[in-house]
Amino acid sequence: MNPYPPAPLLPTTGTPDPGAPGSAAPIALGEATRLAASVLDAVDRAIVGKRDALTLVLAGVLAGGHVLLEDLPGLGKTLAARTLAQALGLGFRRAQFTPDLLPSDLTGSYVFDQTRAEFSFRPGPVFTGLLLADEINRTPPKTQSALLEAMQEHQVSVEGTTFPLPQPFHVIATANPIEHEGTYPLPEAQLDRFLLRLSFGYPTPDEEWEVLSRRIARKHEDQRVDAVLDADRLLALQASVEEVYVAESVGRYAIDLVNATRRDKAALVGASPRGSLALLTCSRALALIRGRGFVVPEDVKDLAPAALGHRITVRPELWLNDVSAESIVARALNEVPVPDASDLRPAHDLR
């Protein structure tokens, strides 16, 4: 029996979805910042000591993109994705990526309905608001490519028919960076489709005790958080991000950082123009979360490692010298001059 119930899906020929991001009316800045803080507060009840990383994850979602969490097992990646979906009020599905996972296991397929004597489409787990692609590097490239179409085009193609995905649609993928046997590393072109790549890292001893003490007090394993938003409110928040002002000096600062990664002698391939777009788009979302209607250089600097690191390829001969993409980004941040803060606000902003 297919675990995914049939849904009323209509094929499309590529016509823009009226529910696509950007079609909702934006929310006022103060209310948008309050809602973003409420989402983070809700997730904080389940995830201990990761507020900064979760803020960047939320910025990636508000920017309309997808996030890759690349970290060691047991550090809360799955829990973070599930609780974020609950706080955002989105439908949540988890797809465990394994070597035998087929594209149809992800997208869905046509099955024969004996009662009506015809084939009907049964949607797969990708038809949701937030999809957790768990251990994405364990599945073959053919299945990865099916997810790539969903991420980029917000649609899936099955048997020559295209089905639009619900809006909003976001993917949070996880990857284990220390195991390589039996895995299929994501190519640079597919990594480039993720707006941000983040890691949580180990908690401090105090944070780890907080995790244990909360589990003792809870008396059960499952954790749930209350919904702060719903799909429509999230679309409105994403529309609010588009209202955040970017001064030309800040935009050129982001471009200079990206160009510095291309000129670095340790880089075989620097960040692409998509990296510039990701950096600035997420910076606008981060500014909104921080309560500003304009981007400052600190927003760009805080997001640069997560937005650019996975878009840089290090020269192979330097791998043994502890040279990494992160070190190339850090060098760019140290070398590129920060713009003057005098003209960062729009002319009509009196605050």
Residue located via tokens 């840089």: 312
Residue type, 121: F
pLDDT digits (tens, 9 = 90+) for 44-60: 989 998 999 999 999 99
Reported as a single tens digit per residue, the pLDDT across 86-99 is 999 999 999 999 88
Structural domains of the chain, with CATH: 31-213 (3.40.50.300), 244-335 (1.10.8.80)
Structure tokens that stand for 9 in this block: 């899906």
Closest C-alpha to 153, from 14, 277, 60: 14
pLDDT exceeds cutoff 70 at 16: no
pLDDT of residue 3: 38
Q: Residue 184: its pLDDT value, please?
A: 78
Q: pLDDT digits over 262-296, tens only?
A: 999 998 999 989 999 999 999 999 999 999 999 99
Instruction: Read off the tokens for 343.
Output: 């003209």
Distances (CA, A) of 265 to 3, 310, 318: 51, 17, 10
Q: Would you say how long the chain is, in residues?
A: 351
Per-residue pLDDT tens for 206-232? 999 999 998 899 888 888 888 999 999
Is residue 307 pLDDT above 90, yes or no? yes
Per-residue pLDDT band at 149 (split at 50, 70, 90)? confident
